[in-house]
């Protein structure tokens, strides 16, 4: 029997790659997306699509009645700066939207395993020393991180009290084709567009702040691994959570140089004032994902940046 998967946010950057990967592994895929930031062009032709807000009764009905085996919950308000400016909006989507889906899962006759897209950067905050382990204390600096952590607590609750199968994937800074320049990870998309425009690349401060950049294809593969893995018993918050990254820290100036090498350009790099409160170092440990899911990243940074730049270049040429 064909396994059935539902992907929320499946017209978005990460969600569309997750949908593609599930289809490639033989799943029948249904997508929910309200197209507020997702793009119709990202939707796989063979997927069933519902234009719905995850907070809506309609989305809950799809989850409850769809007899899905897997629910990959990728839909979210992803802009950290917007969450600071409008935390109520952020929580409405990232907390209440998630709760709407979880209540539908609880009511479903055939309950799907829930794979939740969380954050490995914003979750741990600046009070720990990287590389960040899953069991590190959580003290998010933004409403976005707070909402993601709140959703994780709800997932742990539904697993313990209602027997819902849950897995949490805490992403590092995801980049790749189809990326929009939102949030910190959007720097790769921003740099690609600036290179294609022949404009200088702007870095904030000295550019030595580091991030863990993970290719979106590897993130999609992690979702497939989480769909197929045998999970440990439900317990505490971190028991079924895995960081998804590379374990390698890369500075912004190194990222700019590596991307320019892939693009064959040598544009100037301009320095702007440092942004107050910006995290200086962020990198995650990934050993647990290997042990629990059998997952490891496959794409080296230089090759992933080259693939990403080619996608942006080809898209520009096609328009």
How far apart (Å, rounded) are the C-alpha atoms in residues 267 and 194? 9
Tell me: cis bond preceding 131? Omega within 30 of 0 counts.
yes
How far apart (Å, rounded) are the C-alpha atoms in residues 54 and 243? 25
Give the contacts of 145 (CB within 8 A, at least 6 positions apart): 80, 119, 122, 123, 125
How far apart (Å, rounded) are the C-alpha atoms in residues 225 and 22? 10
Q: Please count the other Cβ atoms lying within 10 Å of the Cβ belonging to residue 61.
A: 14
- What token pair was written down for 136? 């590190």
DSSP 221-253: HHHHHHHHSPPPPP-STTTTEEEES-S--EEHH
Question: Are the beta carbons of 304 and 175 closer than 8 angstroms?
Answer: yes
Q: 144 an active-site residue? A: yes
| Among 164, 258, 167, 165, residue whose Cα is nearest residue 211 | 258
Catalytic residue among 124, 144, 171, 213: 144
Buried b (16+ CB within 10 A) or exposed e, 18-51: bbbbbbeeebbbbbbbbeebbeeebbbeebbbbe
Buried b (16+ CB within 10 A) or exposed e, 129-144: ebbbebebebebbbbb
Residues classed as catalytic: 144
């Amino acid at each position: 029997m064909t396994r059935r998967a539902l992907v929320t946010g499946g017209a978005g950057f990460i969600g569309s790659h997750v949908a593609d990967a599930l289809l490639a592994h033989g799943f029948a895929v249904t997508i929910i997306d309200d197209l507020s930031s997702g793009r119709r062009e990202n939707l796989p032709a063979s997927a069933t699509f519902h234009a719905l807000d995850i907070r809506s009764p309609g989305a809950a009905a799809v989850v409850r009645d769809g007899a899905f085996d897997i629910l990959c919950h990728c839909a979210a308000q992803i802009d950290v700066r917007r969450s600071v400016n409008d935390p109520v909006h952020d929580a409405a989507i990232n907390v209440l939207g998630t709760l709407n889906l979880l209540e539908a899962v609880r009511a479903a006759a055939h309950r799907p395993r829930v794979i939740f897209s969380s954050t490995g950067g914003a979750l741990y905050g600046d009070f720990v020393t990287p590389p960040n382990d899953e069991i590190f204390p959580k003290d998010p600096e933004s409403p976005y991180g707070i909402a993601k952590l709140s959703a994780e607590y709800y997932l742990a609750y539904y697993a313990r009290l209602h027997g819902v199968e849950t897995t949490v994937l805490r992403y590092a800074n995801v980049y790749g084709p189809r990326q929009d320049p939102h949030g910190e990870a959007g720097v790769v998309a921003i740099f690609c567009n600036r290179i294609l425009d022949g404009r200088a690349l702007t870095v904030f401060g000295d550019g030595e702040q580091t991030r863990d950049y993970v290719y979106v294809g590897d993130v999609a593969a992690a979702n497939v691994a989480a769909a197929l893995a045998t999970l440990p018993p439900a317990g505490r918050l971190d028991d079924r959570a895995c960081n998804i990254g590379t374990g390698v820290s890369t500075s912004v100036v190194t990222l700019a140089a590596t991307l320019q090498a892939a693009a064959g350009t040598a544009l100037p790099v301009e320095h702007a004032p440092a942004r107050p409160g910006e995290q200086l170092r962020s990198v995650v440990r990934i050993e647990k994902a290997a042990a629990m899911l059998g997952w490891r990243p496959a794409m080296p940074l230089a090759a992933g940046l080259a693939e990403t730049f080619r996608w942006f270049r080809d898209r520009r040429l096609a328009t």
